[in-house]
Structures are given as structure tokens and as C-alpha cells.
């Protein structure tokens, strides 16, 4: 059956166009009930159960199916995902509305409908001739859709009566819309609100906790006192942004101070990239990563970023007076040049809420159902939830979702989603850090695994097309101990003309992962392998990462080779690229390779190759440094694990050998050579990596710190920075140079992937290279797979595909890769932080030497070289007399009761693990030396937040 609409439309040119819209209606769309003879199995895919086995509802004791409206799907998805809820009919009308309003919820609904055990059925009511309705005159789209939902619910109830009179199967409409519910009841449709229905499931009382609390009025605090100003409606915000009276940007909360945030302004105005917000009322209920509209305050009200460390740890959940007192602490007299553009949030353009991991702070009131939830991420405010399971959930990691933030509430309202397990347990804490950093870590699906090669696998004649046989070469790999995903191997041999041939051979992952299939899509989504302290979250399935793509010794493997002819001064005479087959002669660790190079007794082919590589690498490194490449430093740590418990038993900073540098030099050279080649061939759509030069303001802290030790650091170019770091030495303080390099690392910008056709600045500041990319680690980085595909097309070894030459699609891939790499880095740091806590838990109280890295108004940030551990020693404690503190930002220094602390000063601190507060277990640091009366207290009193040392990637990730 065909319904058609015809209407006339005037074009811009003044002409008239006749438009005909056709809508097909059918009578062969199944209802989803397997026993329905009328539909005769017309439905395909997951279906409803013949006899629903759901837990009995006290409101509806007979067997029934549920039919939710759009708002229930949008706001109560956590309830619908619960295993207790089955047999749900999802209407096409509802699904289309959800798709238009929330892509993440739409994806979650699709996942649930694909789960056979849930028995969710999608009914195409808009194309069924008995359930399709047309919009009536004067009826808005929302009312029409509500009516369509009621019509479908009524049709279902009449249709199912034909099944069997004794079955009494019913369809219940679930709606939170008061008018819609009233109309449904009038029309004889059984209808309940989501809350009524969930509360009627007596066998599942815990399901009530997962209800989103949507009625803000009912959750407002009893006093009804308005704390925050009203958010302006979207229409007014858009007008204000257009006229320039408001600015749009991303809200970034501070980890160190809950009363401070910044808004990164969208657009091109370089001078106003960042606006500072201070105080609860100016933050006005914005949450980290929300897109907000801000109003710039007059210059007389501008403030400077605060150096005070403030964490929201009050137990009284609505103590606004305490917050106002703390706000006054932030407003100290500062010089005018320290002031920053300051503003206030006037409205929210887009909420970017996600489910948050954390812990419950149980209310002190007996039998209370209202409790505060403290997120693991310190940038997220505490969330008020209602739960009957408080005693069970205490001391456990849970997930909570935010529902709303009323003007009269100090905290947002939310609901319980999931219990992850006991706090402090390795599995639980690993799950938390993966969820918090949005690291995809579910097992690979069957759809993905179906694209893997069938075992046993061997190289075929077809694989050898466009490929060189290099199995005769003396190739070897050099990696950290225990490495199973070996991306790269090297060789060096002397040619008959006296020159040297050097080859970098990289796993040919793009041979196995073909563009556009499920395996490719999943690898692109993950973006990178994530290395935690005792676990690896692979980007590609293990069959590839640890077997078929891993360049293990004494097996034939497919590779992509970059081969140079060089003279003995490491000058490149020729470069060529080829797909190849190699057979690695040895898989060495850095220590084993170093031992071979240093041992005079060893003269075999592998050792000779390594010595040649090492000699050339030293020349290459010298040349790079002369051009201005930076040699920075970050304290890297390695845990020694107990073989049975897998707990850390020792913590040491990593030792770097010559062989680490040797491998790094050739990886850099290969990346630069490939970058040049793909940019030559694809000037508009090469995937490259750049490292922007830091703005001069980033270096202030480094320059001031060096000046305090009478050293000058020049920062006008990378070369002058590198040279002045080389000169900055102090004979009686040898560690000073390392500290300066660690501080210089903190001044750097993040290196990012980009598409060459979307950017003009290709320069890599840290490497002093005009062009750079990533080619050498395709097992663990998706960027390298794209680069392999580009290079393969450039040398005629593979065919192209449309997305590869679409700069906008490539740009989107780069955005995701940059996000995934950043999150992987944060997850790695969090893993180091957690394992450091485990280490000190078993160690007890430890006293160690430390150096001051930063000076704050009420604290010093120190680095303990022995453990590569960084932490904060606070000098102001709750319920303790405040010491006399004088902070000088210019030097920078902090005077405490007559003792002055400068950056790089040596101190002694006591380190312990404080488990008294399960919300955030802390490594606590207290000052031991120098002695200051009233300050050198037992370590239990002095608090520190662990920011685990910056962990570099397994090998090279510049």
C-alpha cells in the first residue's frame, strides 16, 4: 500500500518545484511474538518470548511485554539494560527519535536489541498499515509521535488477544509523560510510569537504584535556597554567541582545585583561547567536558589562577558557607600581569556526561537513602544518589550516572548503575582505570575474529606477489624483556662497494587487516595498544599481535622494509621501500644486545651487525642533536612483580642502555624517510605527526627555576634550549641537569597526528625534523597501519581505496587517534600510581631524599629519584594551627616559619600509604628534613595526591 504526499516548494531562484513523498505501508510485518499464527513468523532476528518469564510485577501479575516511549529509552537506559528487564517492544517511532537526540543511547539500545537473551524486538510501526498514522492539523510532531506510540500499544493488545484467550498476554505502555499516560488509560491501554513499574518488581528491589531521578523539584533540598543562577535557554545563548556577548567553549575542571576551572574557547582568536572561572557560582553547575556559554567579566573582576590546592572533602553535603570561605582564600593580591580573562557560565550548550566510577560516602544519618558518591576523577563533583544498598556498596567501586543538577542543590543528582567490586582489588582497580580513561577493553567480538587468518597459517605464492625475499639477511630484533609483540627488526651489512646496507623491517600488519572490515573498524576504534603494569590491552587480536605479525626469531614473517645504503659517516646515499619476507635470526633484549656489542670474544654475524648499527646510531644521534633535537628526561619506573601474587616487590627507575638509543635512532630515521615518501606521493592526504613549539609562557617556570640556581635557559629556539640545557650544569649538584630536563618536559606541547591537506605546519619541535610520521609500530598503533597503506600504494605494492584519499575522513581518524593516545597515556600513569600504592602498602614507612619540582602557596611538589615518584607535601592541615606561609611567585619560593624552600632544593620526606580514607587511598608525604618546629609531624598527618610518573610508551612514541 502506498501513501503519497504532494506539495509545492518555491526555490531560491523564484521557480516552483513539485515534491512528491511516498510512504510504503505493508501488512507482512511481524509482531515479534513467536507463537503468533497471524504473523506467521514474518519477523526476523531476535524475538520476544512466547511465555514471558519475567519476575512478577505486583501491578501486572499476568505475562506481559513492555512498550516504552522515547523519554523512557533516553533517560532510563540503565534500567532497560538490567538483566531483570526482558521482552521489550521498541517502536520504530521511538528508535528514530532516540537516534536524532542521542547517538550514545541509540548505540546502547542497538546493542541490547542484538542481545538474544534480552528478547528486545524492534517493531516497524511506521510502515505497518494498521499502526501508521498521519499528523493531524494543528498537532505538533511530539504529540503525533505520542499518539503513534499509543496506537501501536492498543494494536498490540488487540492483536495478542487472538493468540489465546487463556494466555492473557498484555502489552504495557511505560511512559513518564503524565498527559500521555492519562490518554492511554482513557483508551484502555495498561500504562505505568517507569518508577511505578520498577517498584512493582518485588523480586528485584535493587533495580530501583538504577532509576534516573528526573523530577528536579522533588530532589531540591528542603530549605529551597537558590544557590546557582538560572541557565539561559539555548535560543538566547545562540543569539548571545552570535552577537559576541557570550563565548562558546569546553569546560575544563581543575584536578587540584574544585573551585576553579577554565573554558577553552572554540574559534580562531588566539589571544582569548582560555577563560578562567573561579568560585562555585561562576562555575554554575558545569561539569568537566561540557560545552558551555560564558560571559566575560569586566577587567576589574579578573583574577589570577590560584596556587592553592583545594579538594572537596567536607562531610556536610550542602555546606555552601564553607565553600564561600574557601573562595576568599583564592583571592589574594597579585600583580596585574598575572590576571587572566575571567568569566562565568551563563548556560549549557551540550552536556557531555558519562557514567562515572567512584565510591559511596555513606550518609551519617541512620536509615537514610540519600548518600554522596565521590568520583575517582577529581574533576567531577560529588553526586547525590538514592540507594537502599548503601551498606552493601560501602567500600566498593561503583558506577553512577548523573541525571540533573537543580539550582538549589550543592551537588548534582544521579543514580546507581553498577557494582564493580571491592576497592583496592587489582581486578576492580584495573577495570576502574580502563573505564575512567575510556579504554575499549572488551574481548574481541566474533565478527572481528572472523576476519583473522585460519590456522595453521603459512606464506603462500599469492602472498609473495610484489614482495622481496629477504630471508637470507642476518636480521635481529632488540626489545624490552618479555616483549611478545615484536614490531621491528634490523640488519646491517657491508656491501661490495664498501658502503653499508641498513634495513629496518616492520611487521606487515596491513596485509592481515584489510580496509573497512570489522577487524579494521575495531582496530581504528581502539587506536593503540595500552600497556598497564601487568596487563596489555591489545589493539589487534592476540593471534596477530603475539604470533603472525610478531617478528619472532627463526620463523618466516611478512614485513615492510625500509632499506638505506649509507657510507661510514651515516650519510644516506639511497633509500628504498619494499614489502618483504624475513626470518629473524635472534630476538634479543636491550641487555643481551649490549652484552654482545661489549664482548670482545663475540664475532658472529649478529654481533657484527649490531656493532655496525650502534656505530651508525651514535653518528645519527650526534647529527640530530646538532640540528637542535631535544634530549629531555622523565623518571621511568619498572616494577618487579612477585611471581605468585603478582604484587610489586621492588620499584626501580629504568636503566637506559646504548642499545635503547640505537633502536630509537633507526626507528626515527625510518619514520622520517617514510614521511617524506608518502608526502611526495600524497601531498593532500598523508597522515603525519607534528610537535608544536610551546608558547613562551610555558617556559616561565623552567626559566625562573634555573635562574634561582644562577643558570640561564634560553628558549627562543629548540636549538638554543638544547644548548642551554647542555650548559646548565652544577659540579656540586650533578642531578640538577636531570631535574631541569624533567621540568623542560613539562613545558612541552603534546605531539599530534594530522592530515597534511588540513594543516600547513608540519614541524616536529622535539626532534628538530621538518616532517615526521609513525611507521614502525603497526601492531600497537593504528596510525602506522594507515601509513603502511599509503606507502604500499606509493610503491605499487597494494591498491588504494576511497577513504584513504579523503582528507576529511583522515582528519576524523587523526582526532580519534589523538584522543586514544592521550587516554592510553593517562591510563598507564594511573596503573603506575596504583602499583606504587601496593608497593608502599607492603613497605610500611619509608624515608627518602627528594628534590622540589614546584612550589605552591601551601605545599611543595617533590620528586624522589630512587622511585621516580612525584608527590605533594602539604603545610596546611585541617584542625591544625596554620603555620606562617609566605609565597613568592617571582623567585619562586615558599617561606615557612623562617625556612625558605626553592625549586630544586633537596629535602627528606617520609612516605606512607594512608588507607584510612577509602575514597582515595593516598601516598602521604611528610617533611623530615629540614627541621621546622610544628611542621615535621608524623607522616599520617601530611597529605599527598599521587600523580604517577609520566610513563613513556614501551619503545618510541615521539
3-state secondary structure 469-530: ECCCCCCEEEECCCCCCCCEEEEEEECCCCCEEEEEEEECHHHCCCCCCHHHHHHHHHCECE
Locate cell 589570577: which residue? 304
| pLDDT exceeds 80 at position 168 | no
Contacts of 699 (CB under 8 A, 6+ apart): 713, 715, 747
> Which pLDDT does position 223 carry in this prediction?
45
| pLDDT exceeds 70 at position 945 | no
C-alpha–C-alpha distance, residues 601 and 583, integer Å: 25
Q: What is the mean pLDDT of residues 395-418?
A: 89
| pLDDT exceeds 90 at position 475 | yes
| pLDDT exceeds 70 at position 941 | no
Burial 743-753 (b: 16+ CB within 10 A, else e): bbbebbeebbb
C-alpha–C-alpha distance, residues 293 and 299, integer Å: 19
Helices 605-627 and 658-681, packing angle to 10 deg: 70
| pLDDT exceeds 80 at position 803 | yes
> Which pLDDT does position 41 carry in this prediction?
58
Contact 564, 677 (CB under 8 A): no
| pLDDT exceeds 50 at position 97 | yes
On whether the 2-210 domain is CATH 3.40.50.1010, my answer is yes
| pLDDT exceeds 80 at position 495 | yes
Contact 583, 554 (CB under 8 A): yes
- The pLDDT confidence band at residue 776, using thresholds 50, 70 and 90, is very high
Cα separation of the two ends of the chain: 62
List phi, psi (to 5°) of 533. Answer: -60, -35
C-alpha–C-alpha distance, residues 64 and 190, integer Å: 10
Among the residues of 650-735, which ranges form H helices? 658-681, 700-707, 718-727
> Which pLDDT does position 664 carry in this prediction?
92
Average pLDDT, the chain: 84
> Which pLDDT does position 222 carry in this prediction?
42
Helices 178-186 and 141-161, packing angle to 10 deg: 40
| pLDDT exceeds 90 at position 491 | yes
Q: What is the DSSP string of 734-784?
A: TTHHHHHHHHHHHHPPPPEEEEGGG-S---BTTTTBS-----S-TTTBHHH
> Which pLDDT does position 103 carry in this prediction?
81
C-alpha–C-alpha distance, residues 184 and 443, integer Å: 43
Of the listed ranges 62-71, 608-617, 684-693, 896-905, the one predicted with least confidence: 896-905
| pLDDT exceeds 70 at position 949 | no
Q: What is the DSSP string of 541-594?
A: -HIIIIIISS--BTSEEEEEEEEEEE-TT--EEEEEEEEEEEEBSEEEEHHHHH
- Cis? peptide before 930, omega within 30° of 0: yes
Say which residue, 222 or 933, is predicted with more confidence: 933
Of the listed ranges 44-53, 405-414, 835-844, the one predicted with least confidence: 44-53
Helices 782-794 and 658-681, packing angle to 10 deg: 50
User: Which value, to the nearest 10 degrees, does the dihedral of the CA atoms of residues 631, 634, 640, 641 take?
Assistant: -130
| pLDDT exceeds 80 at position 43 | no
Distance, CA of 352 to chain centre: 13
Say which residue, 330 or 851, is predicted with more confidence: 851
Q: What is the DSSP string of 420-436?
A: EEETT-HHHHHHHHHHH
Q: What is the mean pLDDT of residues 142-168?
A: 84
Of the listed ranges 33-37, 52-56, 374-378, the one predicted with least confidence: 52-56
List phi, psi (to 5°) of 433. Answer: -70, -30
- For the 355-422 domain, the top CATH level (class) is mainly beta
Say which residue, 940 or 27, is predicted with more confidence: 27
C-alpha–C-alpha distance, residues 868 and 833, integer Å: 11
> Which pLDDT does position 943 carry in this prediction?
38
C-alpha–C-alpha distance, residues 177 and 68, integer Å: 11
Among the residues of 858-928, which ranges form H helices? none
> Which pLDDT does position 950 carry in this prediction?
36
Q: What is the mean pLDDT of residues 355-374?
A: 81
- The pLDDT confidence band at residue 217, using thresholds 50, 70 and 90, is very low
C-alpha grid cell, residue 690:
607534528
User: What are the pLDDT digits (tens) for 746-771?
Assistant: 888 889 999 998 888 898 988 889 99
Report percent pLDDT > 90 for the chain.
Answer: 38
Mean pLDDT is highest, among 243-247, 382-386, 524-528, for 524-528
DSSP state of 640: E
C-alpha–C-alpha distance, residues 218 and 193, integer Å: 16
- The pLDDT confidence band at residue 670, using thresholds 50, 70 and 90, is very high
C-alpha grid cell, residue 222:
528542603
User: Which value, to the nearest 10 degrees, does the dihedral of the CA atoms of residues 169, 175, 179, 183 take?
Assistant: -10
- The pLDDT confidence band at residue 643, using thresholds 50, 70 and 90, is low
User: What are the pLDDT digits (tens) for 907-922?
Assistant: 888 888 877 666 567 7
C-alpha–C-alpha distance, residues 407 and 411, integer Å: 9
Of the listed ranges 333-337, 566-570, 691-695, the one predicted with least confidence: 333-337
> Up-side HSE of residue 25: CA atoms within 13 Å toward CB?
13
> Which pLDDT does position 7 carry in this prediction?
66
C-alpha–C-alpha distance, residues 290 and 250, integer Å: 6
C-alpha–C-alpha distance, residues 199 and 268, integer Å: 52
> Which pLDDT does position 45 carry in this prediction?
59
DSSP state of 691: B
> Which pLDDT does position 377 carry in this prediction?
85
Give the helix, strand, coil percentages of the chain, each rounded to 5.
Answer: 30, 25, 40
User: What are the pLDDT digits (tens) for 272-283?
Assistant: 588 999 888 899
pTM beyond cutoff 0.85: no
List the domain boundaries for the chain.
2-210, 226-308+338-352, 355-422, 446-455+463-522+539-687+768-824, 844-929
Q: What is the mean pLDDT of residues 103-132?
A: 87
List phi, psi (to 5°) of 62. Answer: -85, 165
| pLDDT exceeds 50 at position 125 | yes
- The pLDDT confidence band at residue 605, using thresholds 50, 70 and 90, is very high
Q: What is the mean pLDDT of residues 24-52?
A: 75
Do β-strands 170-174 and 120-123 pair in parallel, antiparallel, or remain unpaired?
unpaired
**In this structure, how many other beta carbons lie within 10 angstroms of the beta carbon of residue 104?**
10
Torsion sign, CA atoms 199, 201, 205, 207: negative
> Up-side HSE of residue 421: CA atoms within 13 Å toward CB?
9
- The pLDDT confidence band at residue 947, using thresholds 50, 70 and 90, is very low
Report how far apart, in Å, the C-alpha atoms of 296 and of each of 282, 344, 539 are.
11, 7, 44
User: What are the pLDDT digits (tens) for 80-91?
Assistant: 988 889 899 999
Contact 613, 662 (CB under 8 A): yes
| pLDDT exceeds 70 at position 619 | yes
> Which pLDDT does position 948 carry in this prediction?
38
Helices 736-747 and 700-707, packing angle to 10 deg: 160
Long-range CB contacts for residues 700-705, cutoff 8 Å, separation at least 24 = 701/743, 701/746, 701/747, 701/854, 701/892, 702/740, 702/743, 702/744, 702/746, 702/747, 704/890, 704/891, 704/892, 704/903, 705/740, 705/743, 705/892, 705/903, 705/904
32: left (phi over 0), alpha (psi -120 to 50) or beta: left
Instruction: Say which CATH architecture domain 226-308+338-352 belongs to.
Output: Beta Barrel (2.40)
| pLDDT exceeds 90 at position 515 | yes
Burial 867-897 (b: 16+ CB within 10 A, else e): bbbbbbbbbeeeeeeebeeebeeeebbbebe
- Within this chain, domains 226-308+338-352 and 844-929 share the same CATH topology: yes
Q: What is the mean pLDDT of residues 199-220?
A: 73
C-alpha–C-alpha distance, residues 400 and 84, integer Å: 19
User: What are the pLDDT digits (tens) for 706-736?
Assistant: 877 778 888 888 888 888 888 888 777 778 8
C-alpha–C-alpha distance, residues 33 and 43, integer Å: 9
- The pLDDT confidence band at residue 871, using thresholds 50, 70 and 90, is confident
Q: What is the mean pLDDT of residues 807-834?
A: 91
Q: What is the mean pLDDT of residues 559-569?
A: 95
| pLDDT exceeds 50 at position 601 | yes
Give the max Cα distance, the chain: 96
Instruction: Say which CATH architecture domain 844-929 belongs to.
Output: Beta Barrel (2.40)
Amino acid at each position: 500500500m502506498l501513501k503519497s504526499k504532494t506539495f509545492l516548494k518555491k526555490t531560491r531562484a523564484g521557480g516552483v518545484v513539485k515534491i512528491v513523498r511516498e510512504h510504503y505501508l505493508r501488512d507482512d510485518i511481524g509482531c515479534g511474538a513467536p507463537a503468533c499464527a497471524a504473523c506467521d513468523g514474518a519477523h526476523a532476528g531476535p524475538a520476544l518470548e512466547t511465555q514471558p518469564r519475567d519476575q512478577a510485577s505486583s501491578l501486572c501479575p499476568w505475562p506481559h511485554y513492555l512498550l516504552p516511549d522515547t523519554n523512557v529509552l533516553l533517560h532510563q537506559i540503565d534500567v532497560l539494560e538490567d538483566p531483570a528487564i526482558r521482552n521489550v517492544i521498541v517502536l520504530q517511532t521511538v528508535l528514530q527519535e532516540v537516534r536524532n537526540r542521542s547517538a550514545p543511547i541509540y548505540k546502547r539500545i542497538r546493542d541490547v536489541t542484538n542481545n538474544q537473551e534480552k528478547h528486545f524486538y524492534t517493531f516497524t510501526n511506521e510502515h505497518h498499515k494498521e499502526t501508521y498514522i498521519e499528523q493531524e492539523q494543528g498537532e505538533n510532531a511530539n504529540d503525533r509521535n505520542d499518539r503513534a506510540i499509543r496506537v501501536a500499544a492498543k494494536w498490540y493488545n488487540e492483536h495478542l488477544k487472538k493468540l489465546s484467550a487463556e494466555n492473557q498476554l498484555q502489552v504495557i505502555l511505560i511512559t513518564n509523560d503524565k498527559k500521555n499516560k492519562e490518554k492511554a488509560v482513557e483508551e484502555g491501554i495498561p500504562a505505568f510510569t517507569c518508577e511505578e513499574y520498577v517498584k512493582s518488581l518485588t523480586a528485584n528491589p535493587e533495580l530501583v537504584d538504577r532509576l534516573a531521578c528526573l523530577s528536579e523539584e522533588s530532589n531540591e533540598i528542603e530549605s529551597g535556597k537558590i544557590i546557582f543562577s538560572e541557565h539561559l535557554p539555548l535560543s538566547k545563548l545562540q543569539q548571545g554567541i552570535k552577537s559576541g556577548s557570550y563565548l562558546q567553549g569546553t569546560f575544563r575542571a581543575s584536578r587540584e582545585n574544585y573551585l576553579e576551572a577554565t573554558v577553552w574557547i572554540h574559534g580562531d582568536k588566539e589571544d582569548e583561547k582560555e577563560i578562567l572561572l573561579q568560585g562555585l557560582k561562576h562555575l554554575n553547575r558545569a561539569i568537566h567536558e561540557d560545552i558551555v556559554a560564558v560571559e566575560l567579566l569586566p577587567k576589574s573582576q579578573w583574577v589570577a589562577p590560584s596556587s592553592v590546592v583545594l579538594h572537596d572533602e567536607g562531610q556536610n553535603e550542602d555546606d555552601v558557607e564553607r565553600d564561600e570561605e574557601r573562595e576568599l582564600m583564592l583571592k589574594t593580591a597579585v600583580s596585574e600581569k598575572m590576571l587572566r580573562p575571567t568569566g562565568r557560565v551563563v548556560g549549557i550548550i551540550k552536556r557531555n556526561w558519562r557514567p562515572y566510577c567512584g565510591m559511596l560516602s555513606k550518609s551519617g544519618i541512620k536509615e537514610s537513602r540519600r548518600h554522596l558518591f565521590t568520583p575517582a576523577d577529581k574533576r567531577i563533583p560529588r553526586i547525590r544518589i538514592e540507594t537502599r544498598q548503601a551498606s552493601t556498596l560501602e567500600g566498593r567501586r561503583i558506577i553512577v550516572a548523573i541525571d540533573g543538577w537543580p539550582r538549589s542543590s550543592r551537588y548534582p543528582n544521579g543514580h546507581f548503575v553498577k557494582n564493580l567490586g571491592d576497592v583496592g582489588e587489582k581486578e576492580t582497580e584495573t577495570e576502574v582505570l580502563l573505564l575512567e580513561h575510556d579504554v575499549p577493553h572488551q574481548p574481541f567480538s566474533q565478527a572481528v575474529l572472523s576476519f583473522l587468518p585460519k590456522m595453521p597459517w603459512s606464506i603462500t605464492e599469492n602472498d609473495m606477489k610484489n614482495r622481496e625475499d629477504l630471508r637470507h639477511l642476518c636480521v635481529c630484533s632488540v626489545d624490552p624483556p618479555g616483549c611478545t609483540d615484536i614490531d621491528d627488526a634490523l640488519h646491517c651489512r657491508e656491501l661490495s662497494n664498501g658502503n653499508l646496507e641498513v634495513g629496518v623491517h616492520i611487521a606487515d600488519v596491513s596485509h592481515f587487516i584489510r580496509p573497512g572490515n570489522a577487524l579494521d573498524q575495531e582496530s581504528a576504534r581502539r587506536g593503540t595498544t595500552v600497556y598497564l603494569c601487568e596487563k596489555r590491552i591489545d589493539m589487534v587480536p592476540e593471534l596477530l599481535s603475539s604470533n603472525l605479525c610478531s617478528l619472532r626469531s627463526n620463523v618466516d614473517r611478512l614485513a615492510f622494509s625500509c632499506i638505506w645504503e649509507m657510507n661510514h659517516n651515516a650519510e644516506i646515499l639511497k633509500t628504498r621501500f619494499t614489502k618483504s619476507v624475513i626470518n629473524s635470526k635472534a630476538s634479543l633484549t636491550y641487555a643481551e644486545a649490549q652484552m654482545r656489542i661489549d664482548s670482545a670474544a663475540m664475532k658472529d654475524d649478529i654481533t657484527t651487525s649490531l656493532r655496525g648499527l650502534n656505530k651508525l646510531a651514535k653518528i645519527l644521534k650526534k647529527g640530530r642533536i646538532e640540528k637542535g633535537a631535544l634530549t629531555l628526561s622523565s623518571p621511568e619506573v619498572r616494577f618487579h612483580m612477585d611471581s605468585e601474587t603478582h604484587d610489586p616487590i621492588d620499584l626501580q627507575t629504568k636503566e637506559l642502555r646504548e642499545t635503547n638509543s640505537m633502536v630509537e635512532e633507526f626507528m626515527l630515521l625510518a619514520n622520517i624517510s617514510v614521511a617524506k615518501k608518502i608526502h611526495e606521493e600524497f601531498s593532500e592526504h598523508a597522515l603525519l605527526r607534528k610537535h608544536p613549539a610551546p608558547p613562551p609562557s610555558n617556559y616561565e617556570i623552567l626559566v625562573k627555576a634555573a635562574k634561582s640556581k644562577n643558570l640561564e635557559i634560553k628558549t627562543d629556539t629548540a636549538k638554543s634550549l638544547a644548548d642551554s640545557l647542555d650548559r646548565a650544569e652544577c659540579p656540586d649538584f650533578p642531578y640538577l641537569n636531570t631535574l631541569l630536563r624533567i621540568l623542560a618536559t613539562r613545558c612541552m606541547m603534546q605531539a599530534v597526528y594530522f592530515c597534511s591537506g588540513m594543516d600547513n605546519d608540519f614541524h616536529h619541535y622535539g626532534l628538530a625534523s621538518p616532517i615526521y610520521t609513525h611507521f614502525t609500530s603497526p601492531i600497537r598503533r593504528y596510525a602506522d597501519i594507515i601509513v603502511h597503506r599509503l606507502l604500499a600504494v606509493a610503491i605499487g605494492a597494494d591498491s588504494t581505496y576511497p577513504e584513504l584519499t579523503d582528507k576529511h575522513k583522515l582528519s576524523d581518524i587523526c582526532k580519534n587517534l589523538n584522543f586514544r593516545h592521550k587516554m592510553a597515556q593517562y591510563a598507564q600513569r594511573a596503573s603506575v600510581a596504583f602499583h606504587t600504592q601496593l608497593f608502599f602498602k607492603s613497605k610500611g614507612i619509608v624515608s627518602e631524599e627528594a628534590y622540589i619540582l614546584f612550589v605552591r602557596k601551601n605545599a611543595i611538589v617533590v620528586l624522589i629519584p630512587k622511585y621516580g615518584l612525584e608527590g605533594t607535601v602539604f603545610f596546611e592541615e585541617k584542625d591544625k594551627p596554620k603555620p606562617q606561609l609566605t609565597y613568592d611567585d617571582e623567585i619562586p619560593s615558599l617561606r615557612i616559619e623562617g625556612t625558605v624552600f626553592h625549586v630544586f632544593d633537596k629535602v627528606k620526606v617520609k612516605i606512607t600509604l594512608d588507607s584510612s580514607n577509602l575514597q582515595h587511598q593516598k601516598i602521604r608525604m611528610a617533611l623530615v628534613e629540614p627541621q621546622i618546629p610544628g611542621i615535621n609531624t608524623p607522616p599520617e598527618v601530611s597529605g599527598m595526591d599521587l600523580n604517577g610518573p609520566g610513563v613513556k610508551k614501551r619503545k618510541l612514541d615521539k
